[in-house]
A and B are shown apart, each in its own frame.
Chain A
Amino acid sequence: MSQREGNLEDDAQADTPISLLPHLEAKIRQTHSLAHLLSKYAEQLLEEYVQHQGDPFGLPGFSPPRLPVAGLSAPAAGHTGLSLPERLRLDAAALEALPALLDVVRRRQAELNPRAPRLLRCLEDAALQARALGAALDTVLAALGAAAPGPRPPPPAAAAAANSAAGVFSAKVLGLHVCSLYGEWVSRTEGDLGQLVPGGPA
């Protein structure tokens, strides 16, 4: 592990300026703090979401298999093996895809749980926060000169809409996955940004 982390550190140092500009450092710290904050919010969102889906959602032992979500994949097992810029680019791509998915989930939940304003507000906030974190991450990537070379594919809004036409149970599972993915990607972003923060974890 330490060997692996040492390699990552080398990658990060190779891909980033040795001495970050103060404003860039501040931006990285700010983005990292935002990611840290959103990771907490994502946990609350997941709890709130599960609470309104009925049994067996939320019961211990109930863990529906992860079905692929159109336009968004779970962080790969080999994510940590990638270079830091690559990981940040993946983070940014996921954060760009998440708002549309969260919006789809919110719309379905508005039909299923119209009397759960807290859940709906959390989903709406999560979409905005994911968008904000993605934009901040893009700024960091651009400042680091590690932005994606080409235009990123458009968000999977159509695919998400197609998913929303499925049954209610599938929509619930989809929402569960999207909320989980939101938390995972935000946490992953927080971890990846942490390696850029001076004095942060290696």
Chain B
Amino acid sequence: MMDVSLCWRPPAWTVGEKRMRTAPTLRRLLSALTLLHVMVQVNSQKRGALRDLKCTTNNLQVWDCAWKAPLGAGHGTVNEVCIDDRLHSCYPLEKGNVKIPALPPGDHEVIVNYLHGFNGSSAKFILNEQNVSLIPNTPEILTLSADFSTSTLYLTWDDRSCAFAHHSKVTWEIKVLRTPRMELVNVVTYNTTLHGRDTVHYWRWTSDLPLQCATHYVGIRCYLDHLHFAGPKEWSAWSPLMNISWAPESEAKAFPQDKVVLVGSNITFCCVSQTKVLSGQIGKTFYPLIHLYGQNVAIHIQNISVSENSGTNVVFMIEDNVCGTVVFAGYPPDVPQKLNCETHDLKDIICNWNPGRPTGLVGPRNTNYTLLDSFSGKSVTFKRFETLTNESYQLLFQMPPHQEIYNLTLTARNPLGQSESAILVNITERVCPHTPTSLKVKDINSTVVTLSWHLPGNFARINLVCQIEIWKPNSKQELNITIKGVENSSYLVVVDKLNPYTTYTFRIRCSTEPFWKWSKWSSGKRHLTTEAIPSKGPDTWREWSSDGRNLIIYWKPLPISEANGKILSYNVSCSSHEEVQSMSEILDPQHRAELQLVKDDYIISVVAKNSAGPSPPSRIASMEIPNDDLTVEQAVGLGKKIRLTWPPDPNVTCDYVIKWCNSSRSEPCLMDWKKVPSNSTEAVIESDQFRPGVRYNFFLYGCRSQGYQLLRSIIGYIEELAPIVAPNFTVEDTSADSILVRWEDIPVEELRGFLRGYLFYFQKGERDTPKMRSLETGHSDIKVKNITDTSQKTLRIADLQGKTSYRLVLRAYTDGGLGPEKSMFVVTKENSVGLIIAILIPVAVAVIVGVVTSTLCYRKREWIKETFYPDIPNPENCKALQFQKSVCEGSNALKTLEMNPCTPNDVEVLETRSIIPKIEDTEIISPVAERPEEISEAEPENHVVVSYCPPIIEEEIANPAADDAGGASQVVYIDVQSMCQPQARPEDEQDIDPIVGAGYKPQMRLPINSAVEETAAENDADSTAGYRPQANVNTWNLVSPDSPRSTDSNSEIVSFGSPCSVNSRQFLIPPKDDDSPKSNGGAWSFTNFFQNKPND
């Protein structure tokens, strides 16, 4: 019998205690049960105690208690379990356990009777619900399936095993194992609530390893959390494992196939193969192999990058084969950007958007777009295989009738996800109409037309705002009109205030109210409005013929704005007080008519006609009132305009008429005319026919009641130009000092402006002179006379030189500039008085000089002899020669040279071999002027050496250069008298330094100074000392009196003379110089001696 000690009751628990327990309570309960079990074990050890007593329940209806038989109990012991309750019911004990109905809460004494053995003893224990464990039945897996393409396992089971526990929470635990080592790859829990029905539960799981790569096993168990059960609760047993396996094919195959993954994902690929796999690679990159089972291997890739269009290839190399797959790594669709919806016709909504970031997926994996209107529930799908980056997408949504507000949601989907963008629009405010078509124009009259066009769409509910652009030549006009939209797309408007017979171009575009966008412009439609009668008569003028018999009527063609059509003809009629004379019709384009009138007082009427009818008549009086007080005035225009002014004339009642013509035309001359109102005092005349430099005659007429009176006559130029010809002029008279010139007028056509004067130039010059000074240089030798009196036609030029050639130039000028020049050469006559004087004076001077010289020579003959012809000493008496002799005799004592007076006995004159041009008095051209370059080159050879020196002196000044020069020279000995002849050209003298100048020098004191030495050192042959005149040779320079440089001390043009000259020598022809006028070369005469003013 069980004693009390078998009874175990947790002290804190009572029978009537509410059976709601929390988890800590459950744990404490489990601890207590464990303690109870230990105590039962201990007590049962004593005598007949029950061992390993455990009571469980799986349905809360029946408790199943089991224990081990007490020690010493026989095998065939039959037991009976009795419960000490009210009924004292007993239950046979079956094989060590007993199933008893669930007992009410509280302690129950359970007596186990051993009918056999233990001598009929019994054991007791106290049983409480808290000692009973709730262990649900093992759940069963209904199905286990797999989607190999997605590596997903699908598991189904029901909750039949726990169906008894209504409203209880059940926790299911599912485990996934994988071969070959039954590796637990996933355990998940899944909570449900029991509803009393046999509910089937679903669970799916996606494997990171393709299911084809290994066999996957799945098991399930459950845990029932019954709220009203106070005992401990335990997990059920695991269900039998079910597996999913891939039936390998004979060929190796890689998995997963064609999977789409997110960029950056980690993914595992495997190869199911019967043979050994050698390598695995993605693209060109090899990865380490992970051996699964058999020959199956896998590779694992982390952070996969975006694929190219055709995907990323995963290839496993097998011994004799390859297996591979393709993975597509991309992005889920970006949120559609810039979603904009509008309609063209209120029939379809067009939504545009930008897809945003490219997904990297194309073809079947490309993004699909669905546009859904939540109000109507309608949707459309955009599907396109080929998409280009940054392309704007467009979707057409057909509008349900009578719906204006749309809540449009655009959803983008691809295998990696979806995104959406929404817009709420009132579509009547988002109308961009189509381009209007079929624009037609129809005439109503000459100024009104109707425009009709077709605008696709149903705009019956809204107003249209259309803009009509009306082009006509040189102008554009825009009309905005608002019209009510129609359903049939045809519209018509009236356009008025047009001009008759005018070509218009119409085009139109439309928008809606409120404004959203303009449509595109329709194509232009040209239209010519119909004709109307001319609005005015033609502008008319009349001219009397030169004989005064005929009246010529002129009229201008009407401008298109006044003609209102094509002018077909003109009717000209004249009327007087007595009669009306009608002329025949004059067809366009003739714009003149000539009338033969018997008297001069008529009213001429001109009417223009087009197809619509005649214009109002234009009338003009034929009479021309004479004006005796008429002056001719001048006017100059500006540009193509000329401005004419006149004083107001109260007698002018109708208007002023200004007519003009080219002055070169014969009368009657009429180019054009212009009418101005009678209150005007000025008019600006402008015409494209005006040309610069052309003289026009302007006539101002005033209109009075009787007729027109010529008020002013004006000649004018639009722009003055310079004359194009020079005036013709002739020399009427020539004297020795004056010229009389006469010229003619320039024709008006060639004058090209108002003549303002003449410019007369004259200067010395000859016809054949190659270079004449330009007139514009203002050189001093050009004389200018400005003749501003345009009526003057002659000019006398005085104070000229006789027998001199002058160049005369005459030019006319206007305000437009100087005209061309016309020149003429004239030679003045010779002055006979001067010639006589030129002969007599030199003769007289020569006689006087000769007499004076003879007298002086006679009186000073002794002095001259001592000076020029001293006695020559005997060389034998010269001590210097004795000194030389002693040297030659080899005297050892070197003696100082003793300079005894040594009188030279001869004069040596050195002269170059070159031929020096002989200067003759008759030569009129200076060689210096004509050949300066030759002189310069010949200069080293043309020097003259006049020297005399004792031999010892010659040795001191000798130098190699002088020797060289001497080699090219010939020494000529002449006597002193020969020196009187000119031996050098004038130009040589300018190089003669006063110090080194040749000439006689006394033998006693020959000045060889440092300057001479230096010059000699510079190889100047001219430095050789020689004969020098006693006087200063510089003072011998003689110049021509008429030379312009005669007073120039530095002049290159000098004459060379000697004190022996008895008559002056001069170079009468000035040197040739481009900058100076050439002297009268061949016309040189002695009269030049007497000319004080070389140019005058």
Contacts and interface: CB of A to CB of B under 8 A. Distances in A.
Interface of A: 52-57, 59, 62, 64-65, 109-116, 167-169, 172-173
A62 B312 CA distance: 15
Nearest to B257: A167
Given A112-B309, A112-B311, A55 B320 contact: no
Contact of A167 (B258, B283, B310): B258
B281 interface: yes
A143 to B, nearest CB: 44
B385 A110 contact: yes
B310 A54 contact: yes
Interface string B283-322: 1100000000000000000000001111111110000111
Nearest to B254: A169
B385 A114 contact: yes
Nearest to B386: A114
Contacts, number: 75
A112 B312 contact: no
A115 B309 CA distance: 8
* Interface of B (DSSP majority class): loop
B326 interface: yes
Contact of A54 (B283, B321, B325): B283
Contacts of A59: 284
B231 interface: no
B362 interface: yes
A114 B362 contact: yes
A112 B257 contact: no
B139 interface: no
Given A110-B385, A114-B309, A114-B385, A55 B284 contact: yes
Could you say which of B310, B312, B385 has the most chain A C-beta atoms within 10 Å of its C-beta? B310
9 contacts: A56-B283, A62-B315, A64-B324, A111-B363, A111-B364, A114-B362, A116-B309, A167-B258, A169-B325
Given A65-B320, A114-B385, A114-B386, A55 B310 contact: no
A52 B309 CA distance: 8
Contact of B324 (A52, A114, A116, A169): A169
Contact of B363 (A55, A114, A173): A114
Interface residues of B, number: 27
Interface of B: 254, 257-258, 281, 283-284, 307-315, 320-322, 324-326, 362-364, 385-386, 388
Nearest to A169: B324
Majority secondary structure, A binding face: loop
Given A169-B325, A172-B313, 19 more contacts: A53-B310, A56-B284, A56-B313, A56-B315, A65-B322, A109-B310, A110-B385, A112-B310, A112-B311, A113-B310, A115-B362, A167-B257, A167-B326, A168-B258, A168-B325, A169-B315, A169-B326, A173-B322, A173-B324
A58 B959 CA distance: 100
A110 B386 CA distance: 9
Nearest to B311: A168
With a 10 A CB-CB cut-off, give which of A109, A111, A168, A172 has the most chain B CB atoms. Answer: A168
Contact of A64 (B312, B322, B364, B386): B322
A115 B284 contact: no
A57 B321 CA distance: 15
Given A57-B313, A59-B284, A115 B254 contact: no
Contacts of A111: 363-364, 385
A64 to B, nearest CB: 5
A123 to B, nearest CB: 14
Interface centre among B312, B315, B321 (most CB of A within 10 A): B315
Contacts of B310: 52-54, 109, 112-113, 168, 172
Contacts of B322: 64-65, 173
A115 B360 CA distance: 12
| 6 A-B pairs with least C-beta separation | A111-B363, A168-B326, A55-B283, A169-B324, A114-B386, A112-B310
Kindly name the residue among B321, B322, B385 whose own CB sees the greatest number of chain A CB atoms within 10 A.
Answer: B322
Contacts of A116: 309
A111 B326 CA distance: 14
A56 B281 CA distance: 9
A65 B310 CA distance: 21
B259 to A, nearest CB: 10
